[in-house]
Amino acid sequence: MAFTRRKMLILGSASFATAAFAGLPAFADLTDDAITAITGGADIGEDGITLTAPEIAENGNTVPVEVSAPGATSIALFASGNPTPAVATFNFGPLAGSQSGATRIRLAKTQDVVAIATMADGSFQRASVTVKVTIGGCGG
Amino acid sequence: MAENVRPRVRVPKTAAAGEVITIKSLISHKMESGQRKDGDGNVIPRSIINRFVCAFNGEVVIDVTLEAAVSTNPFFEFEAVVPEAGDFTFTWYDDDGSVYEETKSIAIA
Amino acid sequence: MKLQNAIAAAAILSFAGTMSFAQDDNELSVDGQLISTEADAPAHMENVGTVYSGWRFRSEDTQAMQMDDFDNSGFVFVDDGLSLMASVDGSEGKSCASCHENVEDFAGLKAKLPRVNDSGELETMEELVNTCRTERMGAEPWKYSGSQMTAVTAVIGLQSRGMPIDVAIDGPAASFWERGQELYYARVGQLDLSCANCHEDNYGTMIRADHLSQGQINGFPTYRLKNAKLNGVHNRFSGCMKNVRAEPYADGSDEFKALELYLASRGTGLSVETPSVRN
C-alpha cells in the first residue's frame, strides 16, 4: 500500500510541475516582448542597475519602488504580472542630478518588477525584484 | 479637465552652484486605469496622467512616461543639478488633454 | 508517509517565515519631530497594558511615508482643506477663515474630541464643521465622510499633531462612553465578531495577510494606501462592520459617535498623528 501511494505522489508532483510550467502566464511574454522592443534582442547586463522594492507589499495599490543606473539615458519599469506590464519610463535630461528615480506603483498580484536601463553607450542593464502582493485579511 | 487635480512639489529654496538637489513631486489624480468596471459592468475608460516633465530654465531634468500602473496621486522623487539661479517648471499631461503646471524658483546661496 | 510529512512541514515553515508578529520597536519622527506611538493603557482597559499607535503595526515602507510631510500624500488633501477653508461659501458671504483667521488656533481641539457640548449632546469634529457651515455661514452641510469634510478635518486635526489624546469620559460623557464600550464588545454580523475579538484579543497577529493593530483612531483622517485618499473614522467603522458581514450604522449616527468616544478613550496618551498613513 505504502509503495503505491508514494508512487502516486511522485507521479502527481511530476505532472503538476509539468502543468504549471506549461501554463506560464501570458503576461510574462508581454513583458519579454516589451523588453525586446527596447533592446532589439541585444545582450543585457546586470551589474549596472539597482531596483529596490519591498519583499512584501503592504498594499498592492501603492508599492514604493526606486531604480538607479548610473550612466543611463533612460530606465523602463515593467510589472510582469499586471494585465498591462508597462509601468513607467524615466528619461533623464542634461540637468538630471543622477540617473535614478523613485515612484509608487500598482501591482495586481505577486510578480516580478523588472527594470531595463538603456545606457549612454547603447548597452542595456536589467534588474528584477519579486514583490509579494496579498489580499488583506480584513483591511477590506 | 479631471476634477480636483492639485500639483505639489518640494524644491529647496537655495542651492550652491552646481549642487545636486532632491526634488519630490506629487499630483492628486485618480489615475483611472481602464481595468475597473462600473455598477452596470461597463469598463470605466482609462484616464491617467501619461507624462511628467521637469525642466530647469528650459532644459530637461527628467521626462517620465506614465502608464496605468503608476499609483493614484503620482509621486516622483529624482535629482537635479542646479547650475545657476532660476525656475524649475513641472508639467503633467492628462489623457483628456489637460495640462497642469507648477513652477518653483531656486536661488544660489 | 515521511514524504507527505516533509512537504507539510516545509509548507508551514515557509509560510510562517514571511510574517512578523506583534508591533515593532520603530520610532516615529516626522520632519525631525519625535512623536510618541505608545502609552500606558488607561485604567478602564482591563485587558491591555500598553496602547500602541497603528503606525507600529505597518510595514517599514508604509511607516516611512508618514515620516515626511511630502512623502505623506495625505498632505495634498490638507492643501485642499486649506483652500476650502479660505473659500467663501453660503448665504452669509463668509469662509471658515473669515472667523478662524489662524488655523493654528485649532491646536488642542482634536485631542479632546468627541466631547459633550453645553446642550448635553456628544459632538464630533465633523458636526462642529457642519454646525458652523449651516448656522454661521448659511452654507449646505458637507457629506459626513466626503472629501471636503476629510480635507478640512485633516487640517484641523493636524494642528494637534503630537499632542496626547485626552477625551473626557466622566460626568455628562459617561452614558455615551458606556454605550460605546457596549458596542465595542458586542458581537455582530454573520461572522459574529466584535471589535474586541480582533483589536483587543488578537492585535499583533496576522488575519490572513493583514497585520492587526489595536484599532486606535489617533491618526484619523488617515491616508490609506488602499484607496489613495483621506478616510474618516466613521467610514472606517463602516468598513470594519462590512468586513464581518454586519449592516453598518450610518456615518454620523449616535452609535458611531459613541463608539468614536470610547475608541478615543482607548487611545488616551497616544499622540494625534493626523493625517496618518495606513494600509
DSSP C153-180: HHHHHHTTBTSBP----SGGGHHHHHHH
Q: Do B70 and A87 touch (CB under 8 A)?
A: yes
Q: What is C74-158's CATH number, 1.10.287.70, 3.10.20.30, 1.10.760.10, 3.40.50.1370?
A: 1.10.760.10
Residue A23 has a CB neighbour count (10 Å cut-off) of 8
Q: Indicate whether A20 pLDDT > 70.
A: no
What are the residue ranges spanned by the domains of chain B? 6-108
Which of the residues C4, C76, C226, C230 would you substitute to probe the A interface, choosing the one with the greatest number of A C-beta atoms within 10 Å? C226
C33/C38 Cα distance (integer angstroms)? 16
Topology classification of domain C2-71+164-278? Cytochrome Bc1 Complex; Chain D, domain 2 (1.10.760)
Q: Indicate whether C86 pLDDT > 80.
A: yes
Q: Which residues contact C32 (CB under 8 A, 6 or more apart)?
A: none
Whether residue B94 contacts residue B2, with contact meaning beta carbons closer than 8 Å, is answered with yes
Q: Among all residues of chain C, which has the CA nearest to that of B76?
A: C71
CATH superfamily of B6-108: Immunoglobulins (2.60.40.10)
Q: What is the mean pLDDT of residues C11-38?
A: 72
Q: Indicate whether A2 pLDDT > 90.
A: no
Query: How many interface pairs between A and B have CB atoms less than 8 angstroms apart?
Result: 99
Taking the Cβ of residue A63 and every Cβ of chain B, the question of whether any pair is shorter than 8 Å is answered with yes
Share of chain A above pLDDT 90, in %: 73
Q: Do A134 and C208 touch (CB under 8 A)?
A: yes
Query: Which tens digit of pLDDT belongs to each residue from C41-60?
Result: 999 999 999 999 999 999 99
Q: Indicate whether C18 pLDDT > 80.
A: no
Query: Which tens digit of pLDDT belongs to each residue from C165-222?
Result: 999 999 999 999 999 999 999 999 999 999 999 999 999 999 888 899 999 999 999 9
CA distance B28 to chain C (A): 7
Here the ipTM equals 0.95
What are the residue ranges spanned by the domains of chain C? 2-71+164-278, 74-158
Residue C268 has a CB neighbour count (10 Å cut-off) of 21
Domain pair C2-71+164-278 / C74-158, same fold: yes
Q: Residue B86: its pLDDT value, please?
A: 97
Share of chain C above pLDDT 90, in %: 88
Place of cell 458652523: C132
Which of the residues C61, C70, C223, C277 would you substitute to probe the B interface, choosing the one with the greatest number of B C-beta atoms within 10 Å? C70
Contacts of C76 in chain B (CB under 8 A): 6, 8, 26-28, 73
Query: Which tens digit of pLDDT belongs to each residue from A111-139?
Result: 999 999 999 999 999 999 999 998 766 65
Q: Which amino acid is at C29?
A: S
